[in-house]
Amino acid sequence: MKFFVDSADLEEIGELADTGLIDGVTTNPSLIAKSGRDFIDVIKEICTIIDGPVSAEVTALEAGDMLKEAEKLLGISKNVTIKVPLTWDGLKACKTLTDNGSMVNVTLCFNANQALLAAKAGATFISPFIGRLDDMGLDGMELIEEIRTIYDNYDFETQILAASIRNINHVKTCALIGADVATVPGSVIKQLAKHPLTDKGLEGFLKDWKTTGQSIL
């Protein structure tokens, strides 16, 4: 499973990119607003840090206007992935963009029929929002399972990009189901490496090592 960072925070993205474990980045208008920075500048800078896909979201609502915004965003770097909302206009724009060879991430997906349409429109990625479904008392993971089944039934190449991930169990379940990508907040990515028994075990090993009086170097 590929890992994308769900962030517009350049310091956080840079720190995680240094691990070599990050395959891409997703942003959205809310994350850009939170960064307090200029959208184009932020995307430009992320693309200098990350080689993989960097999702930049259009804000127009009509397909023609989305395509105009996409043209500007695609001019930033070859790894820009155009993010469009899962609306009829978003799907129309998606089809045009992917027919022209651009990468498209169709976002704000909340049911399997929407995901089916995105695949038919040639989307590179579909972004089902797990956490926001859970917030409503629904089961976000069920949606990932349904999309996996549908895409496998018809050999759709659209990659399932699990989004709105809130905790490490979301990440594990996505991997078990077979999501292609998980876009994860930096704080959750860091928690993935944590286990109290790892910390305790390491403490014990180092304590015993000290008694040997040895050093490796």
Instruction: Report, in Å, the least distance between residue 163 CB and ligand E4P.
Output: 3
Question: Which residues from 74-133 bind ligand E4P, rule CB under 6 A?
Answer: 107, 127, 129, 131-132
Cα separation, 193 vs 205, whole angstroms: 18
Counting contacts by CB under 6 A, is residue 183 touching ligand E4P?
Answer: yes
User: Among 133, 136, 135, which Cα is nearest to 115's?
Assistant: 133
129 or 151: CB nearest ligand E4P: 129
Q: Tell which phi-psi region holds residue 122, choosing left (phi > 0), alpha (psi between -120 and 50) or beta.
A: left
- 83 carries an active-site annotation: yes
- Take residue 15 and report the two structure tokens written for it: 């720190």
**Binds ligand E4P by CB under 6 A, chosen from 3, 5, 6, 93:** 6
Residue 68's identity, in one-letter code, is K
Cβ(61)–Cβ(90) under 8 Å?
Answer: no
Instruction: Select which of 83, 120, 172, 190 is catalytic.
Output: 83
Shortest separation between residue 142's beta carbon and ligand E4P, angstroms: 17
Q: What is the DSSP letter of 193?
A: T
| Tokens found for residue 103 | 């990468």
Which spans of this chain sit near ligand E4P (rule: CB under 6 A)? 6, 26, 28, 107, 127, 129, 131-132, 163-164, 183
For the annotated catalytic residues, the residue numbers are: 83
